[in-house]
Each structure stands twice: as C-alpha cells, then as structure tokens.
Amino acid sequence: MNTIRVGISEYTVSNTPDKLVTIGLGSCVGIAIYNADKKIGGLSHILLPDSSFFSTVDKPEKFADLAIPMMVEAIRKKSGAGKLVAKIAGGASMFVQDQESIVGGIGNKNIEAVIKVLGELGIPIIASHTGGNNGRTMSVNLENFEVTISTGNKEIVTL
C-alpha cells in the first residue's frame, strides 16, 4: 500500500490499495470522493470557497468551486460510470474573530461551498466531521472508503 500525501490546494486521484492523506485542515476542507464499484477515489484539500472573487486564478485546486469538479472529472475518467459518494472534514474556526463573526468565518464558508458544489454534482455526503476549532488530519483508505480523522486535541474518529 502506498500512502500518498495531498498538500494544501491539491487533489489526488488513485485506487486501492493506496491510502490518501492530508494534514493541516484548519479552516480548509478535505473532500474525499469514492466510486465503491471500482475502488477508485480522490482527496482534495481546498483552501477557499469561491474563485469568483479573484480576477485571476493561478491555482484552481485552491477553490471548492473549481477543485471539486476537476477531481470528479478525473475520478470519472479513471473509473468510468458509477455512483460517487463523499465524506468531508475540516472547516474549523481557527481564530477568535471567526468564532465571533455573525456570518461565520472562512471555515463555515468553505463547508457551505463544498456542500453546494457536491449537491450541484449530485454527489451525496455520507459522513462529515466539520466545524469546531481544532485542526485535523484526514486519511482515506481506498480499499473500503474508511476515513480516519485525527484532531488537534488527539481525538480519532472513523467515518
């Protein structure tokens, strides 16, 4: 089994027996998408919700509205047809200003954007571990789509 690390503003698509891992999910959101029939999936680590606020986009993988469709296209290209499902993690409020904001901080905006894009693509979110104020590490086992979340306060959750 290879463990493939996915950095901030990146996504990777692979298949079993690989494991995909991303660290440093603070306000960022990790999106794992999986085709169970083919045991092919991807992991994206988005930094920002929406690219439309920027006049130029140098790295589309940074944005939920661009990265998720790109990753889904790559998964479908590799796996063909099949039902896709998602699990998400992250979107924490890492700063006091975020927690006190009426509209919520960037973490909440990232979560909302990910939910919106997945909904538009018809991909159900079957599990999530979002919000709070702790950073996370997200590991995706492509054999069975087991997602393990380790938080900054040493909590370990399996989705």
Q: What pLDDT is recorded for position 71?
A: 97
Of the candidates 16, 6, 10, 4, which has an alpha carbon nearest to the alpha carbon of residue 143? 16
Spot the catalytic one: 20, 25, 28, 140. 28
- Residue spans of the domains in the chain: they are 3-158
For the stretch 26-83, pLDDT in tens is 999 999 999 999 999 999 999 999 998 888 888 999 999 999 999 999 999 998 878 9
- Measured CA to CA, the distance from residue 146 to residue 55 in angstroms comes to 38
- 133 or 140, greater pLDDT: 140
Count of positions (residues) in the chain: 159
70: burial class by Cβ within 10 Å (0-12, 13-18, 19+)? middle
**CATH 3.40.190.10 assigned to 3-158:** no
For the stretch 106-121, pLDDT in tens is 899 999 999 999 999 9
Q: What pLDDT is recorded for position 18?
A: 96
67: burial class by Cβ within 10 Å (0-12, 13-18, 19+)? buried
Q: Based on the residue annotation, tell me whether 9 is a catalytic residue of this protein.
A: no
Do residues 79 and 40 touch, judged by C-beta distance below 8 A? yes
Map residue 152 onto helix, strand or coil. Answer: coil
The pTM of the full predicted model, rounded to 2 decimals, is: 0.91
Of the candidates 5, 1, 17, 13, which has an alpha carbon nearest to the alpha carbon of residue 142? 17
Map residue 100 onto helix, strand or coil. Answer: helix
